[in-house]
A and B are shown apart, each in its own frame.
Chain A
Amino acid sequence: EPEVTQTPSHQVTQMGQEVILRCVPISNHLYFYWYRQILGQKVEFLVSFYNNEISEKSEIFDDQFSVERPDGSNFTLKIRSTKLEDSAMYFCASSPSRQITQPQHFGDGTRLSIL
């Protein structure tokens, strides 16, 4: 079964540095999402992306964050000037359409540790 893949599995970065998290969604999927899960807390929606545009974003997704689909296969989340509180698991997801009957498929996540 096709999978969403995320790289790296673990990223350690100094506070203030920029980090790019990468995702390869399932190939025929059109909608892409980023979520984060701070250790011991709920999964939180960050952003959804369709047709090279952000569809929806949460309050968490401020100017520090950006998303991009640079080459038609990768879907990236960039965090500029990372803060300690950005440490979390970041999950990418994709779905074939925006119909709610189509569940989102998740990658295994990237654990981001900010030192």
Chain B
Amino acid sequence: AQSVAQPEDQVNVAEGNPLTVKCTYSVSGNPYLFWYVQYPNRGLQFLLKYITGDNLVKGSYGFEAEFNKSQTSFHLKKPSALVSDSALYFCAVTGDSNYQLIWGAGTKLIIKP
């Protein structure tokens, strides 16, 4: 069965420091991986995706994510955090057997000035 794990409920980072939000997955076949961000009272905004190709994927707002097949991980990163990055971040995966997105539980990212 497909699954996604986001092991941290919350990540606290000082503004200007690098941030990492962790995601691991389990899927049969090739994984297709996504990161979405949710601001308060808003929907889910697409940040970036890994389909194939380079393991380092760049997305919106300076975020990037690294696909690691051996560790089945797709951690979200940003070199220098902004207070405005504070939000809820969701990792999602689907396999090539269907197109249902399976979601992680979400990680609350708090960036402190």
Footprint of B on A, CB under 8 Å? Answer: 4, 6, 35, 41-45, 48, 55-56, 58, 91, 93, 98, 100-101, 103-109
Contact = CB atoms under 8 A, between A and B. Distances in A.
Given A45-B102, A56-B99, A100-B32, A91 B51 contact: no
Q: Interface size class for chain B?
A: 20 to 34
A2 B53 CA distance: 28
A60 to B, nearest CB: 11
Contacts of A6: 43
B101 interface: yes
Nearest to A103: B46
Contact of A45 (B32, B90, B96, B100): B100
B90 A43 contact: yes
Given A43-B90, A106-B45, A48 B100 contact: yes
Contacts, number: 54
Contact of A91 (B34, B43, B94, B98): B43
Given A41-B105, A103-B34, A98 B99 contact: yes
Given A42-B105, A58-B100, A100 B43 contact: no
Given A106-B44, A108-B42, A43 B103 contact: yes
A53 to B, nearest CB: 15
26 contacts: A6-B43, A42-B103, A42-B105, A43-B44, A43-B92, A44-B103, A45-B101, A45-B102, A45-B103, A48-B99, A55-B99, A56-B98, A56-B100, A98-B99, A100-B32, A100-B51, A100-B94, A101-B51, A103-B46, A106-B36, A106-B44, A106-B45, A107-B43, A108-B41, A108-B43, A109-B43
A105 B44 CA distance: 8
Contacts of B42: 108-109
A97 B49 CA distance: 16
A101 B94 CA distance: 11
Nearest to A6: B43
Nearest to A4: B43
